[in-house]
Amino acid sequence: MSKLEKPKKDEVAALLSEVEIGGYKIKPWSFGKFKKVYPTLTGVIPALKNLDFKKPQDVMGEKGMEAIGEILPAIGPMIATTLDVSEEEVDGMDLDRIALIGLTIIAQNLGTIKNSFPLVMDQIKALIRGI
């Protein structure tokens, strides 16, 4: 699409898609929301990058449990910031709801997350150099 070409209505609808899960409305991040969520991604992105499952049953193996252990501490703050709720509210959710909401947020914003990965890695490298 050229810079002057207007986006089609269905493209705009896809960008603004909204999902409701358990009374929470989840929609793709705006730029302002991304700025708020970004600090929480430093824990989520490296864990997601390490997911390398060859077959579905790998998720239930040792590798899957390690990945879940890395993602869980980081996913709560990401969900809380995305939904504008307290981390205590997220901590009170059952694991199924957290998984569904977390995966929905990640799926809706996968392009943004993938594009931010180099920024997160630069931040992590800077932290490591400072230690």
* Per-residue confidence in pLDDT tens, the chain, 131 aa: 555 565 555 554 454 578 899 899 999 999 899 889 988 887 777 666 666 556 555 556 676 677 677 777 888 999 999 999 999 999 999 988 988 898 888 888 877 777 766 655 555 555 556 55
Indicate the burial class of 13 (C-beta count within 10 angstroms; 0-12, 13-18, 19 or more).
exposed
DSSP string for 11-40: HHHHHT--EEETTEEE----HHHHHHHHHH
pLDDT at 121: 56
Dihedral, CA of residue 82, residue 83, residue 89 and residue 93, to nearest 10: -90
Q: Which residue has the tokens 């810079």?
A: 3
Residue 79: partners with Cβ closer than 8 Å, 6 or more residues away? 85, 90, 98, 101, 102, 105
Q: What is the pLDDT of residue 110?
A: 78
Q: Which residues of 41-54 are buried (b: 16+ CB within 10 A; e: fewer)?
A: bbbbbbbbeeeeee
Maximum Cα–Cα distance for the chain, whole Å?
Answer: 51
